[in-house]
């Protein structure tokens, strides 16, 4: 009887979680979902217990989890028009210098000064999904990083392990940007360093 009551309590909590997630996603569609703390507060439930239930819900495929957030299976984060316009301004792409990033400090400063609701959360979502990529002290758009990686891989496949100077030339950028980019590719498992040159990691080669 006790086990049946416990299972019934978990089922009821599961239903409440789905309702709370759907409400949260409707109110803040630009977020990846809700954290366990936010859900615990919304449901008036102990967070430690809730985390165990959430883990079970994820394992059973009833909800999704990413970067510390929980969401309904159909949730796809969407920026508001104001948020989209902000990031177009804050992380612009200059057609004459298409692979130059925006300074992270400048973007964060604009985030703090601008009154558009949800901007900080939207920025976290864009970074978590790879739409924006923080590299050292700069912010790139995901498509910029994709293009830089494609040029890097093509140069290595064509001429072998690459020096910083060759990488800089392949990307058409300055050392200011090339060094943190190369270190980022090392850290994310795209390249492996051997002295002054980099080669593609075996599992990164496609």
Q: CATH number for the domain including 169?
A: 1.10.10.10
Distance CA 38, CA 122 (A): 16
pLDDT for 204 equals 56
* Domain membership flag for residue 205: no
| Rounded Cα gap, residues 99 and 102, in angstroms | 10
pLDDT confidence of residue 10: 73
Per-residue confidence (pLDDT) for residue 203, from 0 to 100: 62
Q: Which of 33, 50, 72 is the last residue of a domain?
A: 72
Residue 122 lies in a domain: yes
Residue 14 lies in a domain: yes
Distance from C-alpha of 85 to C-alpha of 103, rounded to nearest angstrom: 18
Cα angle 90, 94, 95; round to 5: 150
Residues forming a β-bridge with 138: 103, 135
Note whether 29 and 91 are same-domain residues: no
Counting the structural domains of the chain, the total is 3
CATH of the domain at 35: 1.10.10
Question: Residue 157: CB partners within 8 Å, gap ≥ 6?
Answer: 200
Q: Which of 140, 173, 189 is the last residue of a domain?
A: 140
Classify 113 as helix, strand or coil.
helix
C-alpha distances out from residue 81 to 88, 114, 119, 185, 192, Å = 11, 14, 11, 32, 41
- The answer to whether residues 8 and 56 touch, using CB atoms and an 8 Å cutoff, is no
Backbone angles phi, psi at 191, to 5 degrees: -125, 165
Q: Are residues 153 and 195 in the same domain?
A: yes
| 91 plus 121 within the same structural domain | yes
pLDDT tens over the chain, length 206 residues: 445 555 566 788 899 999 999 999 999 999 999 999 999 999 999 999 899 999 999 999 999 999 999 999 999 999 999 999 999 999 999 999 999 999 999 999 999 999 999 999 999 999 999 999 999 999 999 999 999 999 999 999 999 999 999 999 999 999 999 999 999 999 999 999 999 999 999 865 55
Q: What distance lies between CA 178 and its chain's CA centroid?
A: 22
Structural domain for 94, as ranges: 81-140
Q: Are residues 93 and 136 in the same domain?
A: yes
* 93, 125: one domain: yes
Report CA torsion sign: 107, 111, 115, 117: positive
Q: Which residues of 73-94 are buried (b: 16+ CB within 10 A; e: fewer)?
A: eebebebbeebeebbeebbeee
């Amino acid at each position: 009887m006790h086990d049946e009551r416990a299972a019934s309590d978990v089922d009821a909590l599961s239903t409440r979680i789905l309702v709370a997630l759907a409400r949260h996603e409707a109110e803040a569609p630009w977020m990846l979902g809700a954290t366990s703390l936010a859900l615990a507060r919304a449901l008036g439930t102990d967070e430690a217990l809730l985390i165990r239930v959430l883990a079970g819900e994820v394992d059973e495929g009833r909800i999704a989890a990413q970067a510390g957030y929980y969401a309904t299976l159909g949730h796809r984060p969407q920026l508001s028009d104001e948020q989209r316009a902000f990031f177009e301004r804050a992380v612009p792409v200059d057609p004459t210098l298409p692979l130059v990033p925006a300074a992270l400090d400048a973007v964060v400063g604009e985030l703090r000064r601008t009154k558009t609701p949800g901007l900080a959360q939207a920025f976290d979502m864009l970074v978590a999904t790879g739409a924006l990529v923080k590299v050292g002290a700069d912010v790139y758009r995901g498509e910029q990083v994709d293009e830089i990686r494609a040029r890097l891989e093509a140069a290595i496949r064509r001429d072998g392990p690459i020096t910083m100077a060759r990488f800089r030339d392949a990307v058409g950028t300055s050392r200011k940007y090339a060094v943190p980019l190369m270190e980022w590719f090392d850290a994310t498992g795209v390249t492996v360093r051997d002295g002054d040159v980099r080669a593609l990691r075996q599992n990164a080669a496609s």
